Each structure stands twice: as C-alpha cells, then as structure tokens.
Amino acid sequence: MAAISGLIRVMEKAARKAGQRLRRDFGEVEHLQVSRKGPADFVSKADQNSERTIYDELRAARPDWGFLLEEGGEIPGEPGKPRWVVDPLDGTSNFLHGIPHFAISIAAQEPKLDGSGWGDVIAGIVYQPITDESFWAEKTRGAWLQDRRLRVSARRHLDESLIATGVPFAGHGDTAEWTRIFLALGPQVAGIRRFGAAALDLAWVAAGRYEGFWESSLSPWDTAAGCLLVREAGGFVTDWQGRSQAICDSQVLAGNDALHSRLHKVLVGALKG
C-alpha cells in the first residue's frame, strides 16, 4: 500500500467527521427540515451541516486555500494556492427518500501556473458513509479503496459490461440527448444502471464495478474527485468531443482503458444520427 499523505489524511478526517453526522441524520430522515432549492432539487439541513463540518475541518488544516462549495459557492483563498472542491452530500434525493446510496466528495485542485484559472486535480476522496467505504486517489500515486489498490475493470466487450448513467429529471439534463445515447448503447451492453450519485458512479468505475459512465449537465463538485479516481485506476474520462479536461462536468464519459474509445464511438454516432 502507498503511504497515505498528509493531504489525504486531512480530506479523510473531514469526510469521516461529516459522514458520522450524515449517518445519524439518515436514521431520522423523516424529521429533517427540507426546503426547495429548485425543481426536484432539494437541500436539507443535513446537507448544510455536512458542508459546514467539512469547511471547518479543511479551513483549519489549510487556512490559505480557497473553496468551491455546492451550497456556499466560491470562496477565494490566497493567490497561487489550491482550492477545495466539495460536494457535502451527493445523492441528496436518495438521502431524503431513505435510500442508503449517497456520498461525500472532496477534491483538491491546483491553480494554473500562469494564473489563468484552475488546473489539475491533485487529490480526491469519495466517502460513502453507510458502507464506510473511502475511495481516494492522488495524482500519479494511484487510486485506492481504503488500503486496497484499485484498477478499472478488465472486461473488453460491451456485451458483458455494466454502464452507469444519470437520467435527466425535472429541470436538469437534456432528455432528447440522453435518449439517443441510451437507445444506441442499451442494446449493446449487459445493463445500464441509474443509482443517483455521480461521485459514487465514478468511484465504482475506478473500482471495476462498472465498465463505464456517462452523464451531462453536472457540476464540478459532482465529478472532481471521481474523475481523478478513474484516471488513477487506469481509465479515461473525457467530454463528448474526446477532450480530457481536469474536471469533466458538463459532459462526462468515463470508461476502462479498453472500452472508453468504443463507448465514445457509440455516443458520437448516436448524437450524429
């Protein structure tokens, strides 16, 4: 096992502390105070409390770093310093419906050397509180589940592959685009799954549980850690044009090393047809 760096320890401490509270709140989900943030997009007190816990822990450890938070927005840090990209509760709708499939996602992203924006994600963690699974990765140091090295699936054929996705819902996503991809890909694969937490979908691609994943209209906090996990586990993450960005969010296509190009070919063909 690779030695766990101080950076990963900071991230895991924050995720686990927030996760303890989420587990407690999940047991009393019917009592949560819930308000509407938008059509079918809910935010709960649990979500806000998780973000505050993570913010406080990370701020104490790296006081000069900035933040990009799902709830709190962008908080600048000192010039030239990295920032944290945080989703305190990915899978909020699952959480509020009592479905035990949700996660905390934290990533660390470096600024570009020329100061023109943000560059590589250097570390990431996706923590699933209910199963107590901690998926983590550091740039050039591999991807891990606790102390076990992760590697993307070795499957080489679409007809034996499971592919994950996120289905458009009220006010989110492009239904026509998704339908075209689904109709082209569905007959070629062993199954398509929609579990409702993109961070975990990407972590599961890294762990070899899925062979691929596609979704559009996501946000950086949904995918920042997951993109790094897949790449460090030997897979690929691009947008629909095949571009490999530091964080793919508006368009995400992830796959193992053998199938990503085939998935991309199917996707492009579906959108051209």
Answer with the one of 149, 168, 191 that is the final residue of a domain.
149
CA distance linking residue 198 with residue 165, whole number of Å: 8
Domain that holds residue 207: 158-272
Task: Give the dihedral of Cα atoms 34, 36, 42, 45; nearest 10 deg.
Answer: -30
Give domain status of residue 1, yes or no.
Answer: no
137 and 172 in a single domain? The answer is: no
User: Are 263 and 214 in contact, with CB atoms under 8 Å apart?
Assistant: yes
Q: Which of 110, 124, 143, 141 is nearest to 199 (CA)?
A: 124
pLDDT at 39: 47
- Mean pLDDT (whole number) for 57-69: 98
Same domain, 49 and 181: no
Which residues are paired to 105 by β-bridges? 87, 126
Strands 34-38 and 41-44: antiparallel
Query: Which band of pLDDT confidence, cut at 50, 70 and 90, is reported for residue 72?
Result: very high
> Which of 101, 124, 149 is the last residue in one of the domains?
149
90 and 129 co-located in one domain: yes
What is the domain-level CATH number for residue 235? 3.40.190.80
201-260 per-position pLDDT tens digit: 999 999 999 999 999 999 999 999 999 999 999 999 999 999 999 999 999 999 999 999
**pLDDT mean across residues, the chain:** 94
Pick the last residue of a domain from 149, 172, 198.
149
Tens of pLDDT, residues 80-105: 999 999 999 999 989 988 899 999 99
Query: Residue 264 half-sphere exposure, CB side, CA atoms within 13 Å?
Result: 20
**165, 145: one domain:** no
Query: What's the structural domain count of the chain?
Result: 2
Q: Are residues 70 and 133 in the same domain?
A: yes
Do 137 and 177 lie in one domain? The reply is no
Do 219 and 264 fall into the same domain? yes
Same domain, 221 and 91: no
Looking at the structure, do residues 126 and 206 belong to the same domain, yes or no? Answer: no
CATH of the domain at 128: 3.30.540.10
